[in-house]
């Protein structure tokens, strides 16, 4: 164990083997830190936090702070962190609001600079959250989801496994598993084909996900008929998880935003003439 003399560690905390603590860190009472964990300079691990093995906390991280809520109770819940996670500079994660609950972070996640996870969130495994991502309270994020920079997620929303959320998206409804969200429009724009390929999904799974995607977003069926069709047609494979997610949504899902295949856009070219007037030439581009 390597503890810098300029750090403050409560005698009522529990520190595992081979833990490294840099300067100006604070570990409060009741904290448990697993073997092999590294705290760089100025890391604060607050009361009510349990940390697994081989986690890495970079400079300025504040882990286990009180919930940002107008009615914080005298006794809050816990923060439980798994193993092999990387928390980059200035990451903040809050404990659960109620004493009987916990904010939960799984294993092998990467939370980049300035990302924030609020109270009562549940993050799975192998998630990547880029810089300045803002996750509000009670949000659930599935395994191997990828959240790009500056994304804001509304409270109680869910992001499914293998979803890819584009930068600066505003997530106010659920993001189903396996889809891609465009950062400019915050709409779903197709399946996350790169994620599916990297995840080793079988060709049949990908084929069925494409079929299910068409049923959900382009069949014009009523919602109850969409769910019934998926449940009856697909009884195994990745679509089963997609169907389960859809049947348990309470906020609804993001809509698909796609350009009509024959849509035209205009490119306007401005050129000054000899008389000083501005001549405008419009070029129509087929971008379907």
Which CATH number covers residue 117? Answer: 2.160.10.10
Whether 225 sits among the annotated catalytic residues: the reply is no
In angstroms, the CA 288 to CA 286 distance is 6
Lowest mean pLDDT among 18-22, 42-46, 266-270: 266-270
Mean pLDDT calculated for residue range 191-204: 97
In angstroms, the CA 158 to CA 23 distance is 37
Structure token digits, residue 141: 């994020």
288, part of any domain: no
Given 138, 160, 187, the domain boundary residue is 138
Half-sphere exposure (Cβ direction) of 82: Cα atoms closer than 13 Å: 15
Whether 119 sits among the annotated catalytic residues: the reply is yes
Q: How many helices (H) and strands (E) does the chain have?
A: 4, 30
Annotated catalytic residue, options 60, 64, 65, 120: 120
Question: Are residues 120 and 239 located together in one domain of the fold?
Answer: no
State percent of the chain over pLDDT 70. 89
The answer to whether the CB of 46 falls within 8 A of the CB of 63 is yes
Question: Are residues 132 and 220 located together in one domain of the fold?
Answer: no
If we measure between CA atoms, which residue out of 254, 67, 60 comes closest to residue 171?
A: 254
Lowest mean pLDDT among 62-76, 117-131, 232-246, 251-265: 251-265
Mean pLDDT of the chain: 93
Is the pLDDT score of 193 beyond 60? yes
What residue numbers bound the domain in which 25 lies?
2-138
0.85 cut: is pTM over it?
Answer: yes
Given 121, 138, 155, the domain boundary residue is 138
285, part of any domain: no
Annotated catalytic residue, options 48, 60, 106, 119: 119
Check residue 50 and give left, alpha or beta (phi > 0: left; psi -120 to 50: alpha).
Answer: beta
Q: Residue 282: pLDDT band by 50, 70, 90 thresholds?
A: low
In angstroms, the CA 37 to CA 275 distance is 72
144, part of any domain: no
Question: Are residues 134 and 202 located together in one domain of the fold?
Answer: no
269, part of any domain: no
Q: What is the pLDDT of residue 1?
A: 83
Mean pLDDT calculated for residue range 194-216: 97
174, part of any domain: no
Question: Are residues 127 and 214 located together in one domain of the fold?
Answer: no
Q: Could you read off the pLDDT of 36-61 as tens digits, one per residue?
A: 999 999 999 999 999 999 999 999 99
In angstroms, the CA 102 to CA 88 distance is 22
Q: What is the pLDDT of residue 101?
A: 98
Domains held by the chain: number: 2
Given 86, 106, 138, the domain boundary residue is 138
162, part of any domain: no
Question: Are residues 114 and 207 located together in one domain of the fold?
Answer: no
Question: Are residues 16 and 128 located together in one domain of the fold?
Answer: yes
Pick the residue with more confidence: 280 or 195? Answer: 195
Annotated catalytic residue, options 60, 65, 82, 137: 137
Is the pLDDT score of 260 beyond 70? no
223, part of any domain: yes
267, part of any domain: no
Question: Are residues 124 and 222 located together in one domain of the fold?
Answer: no
Whether 182 sits among the annotated catalytic residues: the reply is no
State percent of the chain over pLDDT 90. 88
């Amino acid at each position: 164990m390597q503890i810098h003399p300029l750090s403050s560690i409560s005698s009522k905390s529990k520190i595992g083997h081979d833990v490294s603590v840099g300067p100006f860190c604070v570990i409060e009472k009741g904290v448990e830190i697993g073997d092999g964990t590294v705290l760089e300079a100025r890391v604060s691990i607050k009361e009510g936090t349990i940390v697994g093995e081989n986690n890495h906390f970079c400079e300025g991280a504040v882990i286990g702070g009180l919930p940002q809520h107008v009615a914080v109770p005298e006794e809050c819940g816990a923060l439980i962190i798994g193993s092999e996670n990387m928390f980059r500079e200035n990451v903040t994660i809050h404990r659960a609001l109620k004493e009987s609950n916990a904010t939960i972070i799984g294993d092998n996640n990467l939370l980049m600079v300035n990302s924030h996870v609020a109270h009562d969130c549940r993050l799975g495994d192998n998630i990547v959250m880029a810089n300045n991502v803002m996750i509000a309270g009670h949000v659930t994020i599935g395994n191997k989801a990828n959240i790009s920079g500056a994304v804001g997620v509304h409270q109680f929303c869910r992001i499914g496994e293998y979803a890819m959320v584009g930068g600066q998206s505003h997530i106010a409804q659920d993001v189903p598993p396996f889809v891609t969200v465009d950062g400019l429009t915050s709409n779903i724009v197709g399946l996350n084909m790169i994620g599916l390929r990297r995840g080793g999904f079988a060709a049949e799974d990908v084929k069925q996900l494409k079929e299910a995607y068409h049923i959900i977003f382009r069949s014009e069926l009523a919602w109850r008929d969409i769910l019934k069709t998926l449940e009856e047609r697909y009884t195994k494979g990745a679509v089963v998880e997609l169907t389960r997610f859809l049947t348990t949504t309470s906020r609804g899902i993001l809509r698909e935003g796609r350009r009509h295949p024959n849509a035209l856009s205009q490119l306007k070219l401005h050129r000054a003439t000899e008389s000083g007037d501005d001549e405008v030439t419009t070029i129509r581009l087929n971008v379907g």
